[in-house]
Structures are given as C-alpha cells and as structure tokens.
Amino acid sequence: MRFWFILGTVENFWVLVFFTQIITHAQDSKQPNIIFILADDLGWNDVGFHGSNEIPTPNIDALAYSGVILNNYYVNSLCSPSRSALMTGKYSIHTGMQHLVLLPAEPRGLNLSEKLLPQYLKELGYVNHMVGKWHLGYWKKEYTPMYRGFDSHLGYYNWGHHYYSHTLNPSPSWGYDMRRNMSVAFDLHGQYSTTVFTDESVKIIKNHNISQPLFLYLAHAAVHAATAYDSLPAPDDVVASFANLTDDHWDNYRRQKFAAMLTLLDDSVGEVMQALADRKMLENSIIIFSTDNGGAAEGYDISEASNWPLKGAKNSLWEGGVRGAAAVWSPLIKEKSRVSHQMMHITDWLPTLLDAAGGNSSQLSEIDGISMWDTLTNNVDSNRSEILLNIDQTTGEAGLRIGDYKIITGRSNDISWDGWFGPTGRNVSGYNLSVIENSLAYQALDSVKLAVDLDEIDAIRENATISCGDFDQGSCLPEDVCLYNISNDPCEYVNLAKVFPNTVTAMLVTLGEYNDTSLPPQNIGDDPSADPRLHQHVWSIWGDNETISELLEVIP
C-alpha cells in the first residue's frame, strides 16, 4: 500500500504489480520453513536414540523418534569439508576442501564461484538467517555468510572458540571471534555460546514474518572443544548434575563437562521447537538435526565424545569419523517414526531441500548430491548406492562406499584412531521415557499432534542401535587396502580384502575415477597479516582494508 502513495508514475505502477505478485505468490505457497541444526563433533553414541543411557538427550530424541532417524547417513570427517559439502551439494574434492580444515590465518575460503544453499533458497523466496559457526573462510568479506546468501549472521568464523570468552587460538596470538552481521560483537563476551545462539534463534523465529518461508541455519559451537586451558566449558551447576558419571571413561571430569555441554545443546533443540510451535510454524517446517563429523573421542582435542561401537573418531574415514548421528522431522514426511537405512550423504541436503522448497533439483548440474525428498517423505528406495567418503591427496587417505562394501586405503599417516573408544553408555541405569515426554520438543510436537507414540520408542530405539556381536578385530595394517561389508559389519571388525580381491580392484578403479575429477587441495597455510595483534585482538577480516576500518569504528 505504501508503495502506491509514494510512487505514482506509470512505470511505478508496474513495479507495484510486480511486488504484489511476489507477495501473493509467497502467501499462497506452502513452502516449508527449513530449520537446519548442525552440531559440532557430536559422536554417534552421544545421542540417546542410538542406545546410550549415559547423557539424556530427550529433545533430540523426541525429534528423532517422531521423524526419521538417518542411520545410514554419511558426513565428512572434519568441519570445513562437511560444511562445504552441505552448502554446495558437492564432494569436498570438487571444491578443493578435502584436506584438513581452514586455519584461522589462512587467506582462502570456499570458492566464490560456488553457489550456496541459501542463495538457491533466496531465489525460491526464502528469508535466510544464520546463527553460529561458519568455517568456510573470512579473509575477505565476500567469503562471509552475509555475502553468501544469509540475511543475518550472529556467530563466528573459525573452527571454534571459547564458549564464554569467544577467543581462540594462541597461534600466532589470541583473538576474539564473535559477530553480529559484519560487526564484532564485543558485548557478547562472557555469555555462553550455546545460550547466545539459542536466544538468537528463538528471536528470529519470534520476529519472522510468516508471509515468507524461513531458512534458519543454526550451526552450534557445541560440542566442539574450546581451548587447551579449558577444553570443555560449561555452566558449573550443570556439570555438577553429572557428578555420578564415573564409569568407563578416559577422564571422568571431562566426560561430565562434555555431558553438560551436550545438555545445553539438547535444551536448545527443545527451545527452538517450542518457539516454532508458539508461532504456529511447526506444522509447516522441516527440522534437521545432524552432526558435522564423528565425535572427538578419548582425548582427541582434549574432548570425550563417544562413537561406540563404531570404529575410529573425527578425522578418520572409519565409520566413527564419517557416519553421522542425524534425524529429520517434518509433517511432510508421510511415514514417520522409523529408522531409515537408505544411504544418504551430507551433499544430498542441498537438492533434497530445494525439492522440498518447491525448486527442481534435476535442473542442477555439477553437484554430487542426490535428492532424497521422495525417499524421505514416501519411504521409497534411495537413488544413492555409492558415497565417496573422501580422497585426501596430501595424506593419501581415501575411502569409498558402494552398496554394502566400503574400502579404505592410504591410511599410513596416522593410526592413533584405529580403535574402538567408549564410553559405551550401556552400564548406566535405564532410559526414562517420562523425561522424553516432559521435554520441550516432545511437548511442542504433541501440541500439534505430531509426536511419536511413547509406546513405540523402545522398538524404534532398538532398530536404531547398532550392535556388532563379539569383538573380533580383523587385521588392517596402515599400508593395507581394507574392505568391509558395512551392512553386516558396521563396526569394521573383519577385513575382507583377501576374500574378495576383485571387489577391491573394482572399487579402487572407481576411486581413481573420482580422483581424476578432483581439484588439488587448496590449503595454503598462514598469512602473517591475519595476526589478531594487528587487528585489535580480533580474528578480523584482513584482506579488505575497508573492513578493517569498519572494525575500528566499532571498538568500544
């Protein structure tokens, strides 16, 4: 209406008609809100729905049991590779992100030639908000979320930060890393990251104008380790409530702190779902919960996640590094409360969500992701039978899954995570369904009659729990190419390479074909001019002089 009074000419009449059409289209459409909650370094066995009783995750579990548990779902083994795959729908070998992660002082980022998920969604009429960790580059402002499809960003650019001080990395010097849009958010110093991100997400949902669909990308810091002097920061009272966790741990106190961090992450899921219910947006939403990679187990990063009974940890191509804990919920899913064994990869979210949003994923060329929308909503067979787990030309490590089989090769670099790490979470007393029933997430789902039937939970949980029978560690020397039947042997006990040499040969050929399409790893190492001492002790955008002067303006 306002346009009508301000603008009066004939040309502007057409502008008005155009705007009206966009608005009408948006109001008429039933495009779902998309809430993508990405946990950081969360292990397979850290969620209750995979069978551990140790740390209650009632909100995440309520979401999972009411939706679809993705039990054959793969991610990359590290942050930047996984996040680049999520944002582009491409394997990390196709973006040059396959080796390690972006270092704080590295002058690079996810190639600006890539079109990202929020940019596609924007074309479909979405409002895009990002909260939390980016880790896809920030040396120039063009690489940051606000320039890559997000309308707002409250969060940080690097691999992690201390949850209260928001500083990271003493090398070459300590720097602050927390932003509101492009400004450094100094005022958030001292406030716990998970709480900050939860409050911001709830605020976004409260203020959202429902005439447009919402994409909220909530990429938590939790449960990634923080700093060497305080690796797992969490509120003391919550830590104290886990004082009874003294079983079977690498370090009891650290596991208690980990439990507290995870509890706040779980609470966050509940609060976000409650906010969606309060705004009556839940009935038209897709909520995804996923880890970015396997858990940092038994002292990795001075943390203590659990991937048990899967082998390995974060930064390995064993199942514990790449098989991700994840679930998706939406009223659009017709067969809910089930465990999906359909193969899925993190690159699949981009085409899947575009199809859900009213786009057409078959028009995307040059992506590796395959739309799972039909598979998820109608429980029909997945079109995916092959997953490239990674090829890292710098270390030589590579892995590939085809059907039941998986090969892993070139592992000679680091074998310290070639084992099975607890805690099992099976010794702790029972799983309390009334805790799930009382969770905010369950209550929110129940308010729209879309919560799981509590009587079904035990059966679903049993189906989602992997058990591997008697421990039987087959030999897989670092220099070997090893082959596993993952359907039969998800714990990677028995190396079948000598039994099925032709399968090994055929899979190596396929791996070589992928390798031929790979970009070289783009790692370039540190740029001394990123040193926070040169930028008011902030991990600043340092490739644009312009942005540095903006930064100086906001120093309090």
Ligand X SMILES: *[C@@H]1O[C@H](CO)[C@@H](O)[C@H](O)[C@H]1NC(C)=O
Residue positions annotated with a catalytic role: 79, 135
Complex with ligand X: residue 83 or 224, whichever CB lies closer: 83
Site string for ligand X, 241-260 (x = CB under 6 A): ------xx------------
Complex with ligand X: residue 26 or 39, whichever CB lies closer: 26
Complex with ligand X: residue 202 or 534, whichever CB lies closer: 202
Which CA distances in Å does 146 have to 179, 454, 512? 11, 42, 37
Least distance (Å) between residue 355 CB and ligand X: 9
Tokens representing 395? 């270390």
Place of tokens 């990002």: 130
Residues 79-108 touching ligand X, rule: CB under 6 A, are: 96
Site string for ligand X, 2-41 (x = CB under 6 A): ---------------------x------------------
Contact 425, 55 (CB under 8 A): yes
Q: Does 350 bind ligand X (CB under 6 A)?
A: no
Complex with ligand X: residue 170 or 520, whichever CB lies closer: 520
Complex with ligand X: residue 302 or 508, whichever CB lies closer: 508
Least distance (Å) between residue 168 CB and ligand X: 22
Least distance (Å) between residue 190 CB and ligand X: 18
Complex with ligand X: residue 230 or 278, whichever CB lies closer: 278
Q: Element (H or E) spanning 183, and its range?
A: strand 183-184
Q: Quick one: which of 9, 209, 545, 549 contacts ligand X (CB under 6 A)? A: 209
Contact 365, 115 (CB under 8 A): no
45 exposure class (CB count in 10 Å sphere: 0-12, 13-18, 19+): buried
Q: Does 362 bind ligand X (CB under 6 A)?
A: yes
Q: Quick one: which of 20, 244, 360, 413 contacts ligand X (CB under 6 A)? A: 360
Place of tokens 């603008």: 7
Q: Does 279 bind ligand X (CB under 6 A)?
A: no
Least distance (Å) between residue 74 CB and ligand X: 18
How many residues bind ligand X (CB under 6 A)? The answer is: 46
512 exposure class (CB count in 10 Å sphere: 0-12, 13-18, 19+): exposed
Please give the distance of CA 350 from its chain centroid, rounded to a whole number: 13
Complex with ligand X: residue 21 or 362, whichever CB lies closer: 362
Chain position whose Cβ is nearest to ligand X: 488
329, 253, 311, 242: which is closest to 62 by C-alpha?
329
Q: Does 141 bind ligand X (CB under 6 A)?
A: no
In the sheet with 398-402, reading across from the earlier edge strand, the strands are: 386-391, 398-402, 405-409, 482-485
Least distance (Å) between residue 515 CB and ligand X: 4
341 exposure class (CB count in 10 Å sphere: 0-12, 13-18, 19+): middle
Residues 372-401 touching ligand X, rule: CB under 6 A, are: 374-375, 380, 383, 391, 393, 398
CA distance 284 to 280: 8
Q: Does 447 bind ligand X (CB under 6 A)?
A: no
Least distance (Å) between residue 418 CB and ligand X: 19
Complex with ligand X: residue 230 or 386, whichever CB lies closer: 386
Please give the distance of CA 255 from its chain centroid, rounded to a whole number: 22
Contact 129, 150 (CB under 8 A): yes
Q: Quick one: which of 219, 286, 343, 511 contacts ligand X (CB under 6 A)? A: 511
Q: Element (H or E) spanning 129, and its range?
A: strand 127-133
Contact 330, 285 (CB under 8 A): yes
Query: Mind giving me the DSSP string for 48-105?
Result: GGGT--SS--HHHHHHHHHSEEETTEE--SSHHHHHHHHHHSS-GGGTT--SS---TT
Residues that bind ligand X (CB under 6 A): 23, 96, 111, 113, 151-152, 180-181, 209, 211, 247-248, 338-339, 360, 362-363, 371, 374-375, 380, 383, 391, 393, 398, 403-405, 424, 426-427, 432, 434-435, 438, 456, 459-460, 463, 485, 487-488, 511-512, 515, 522
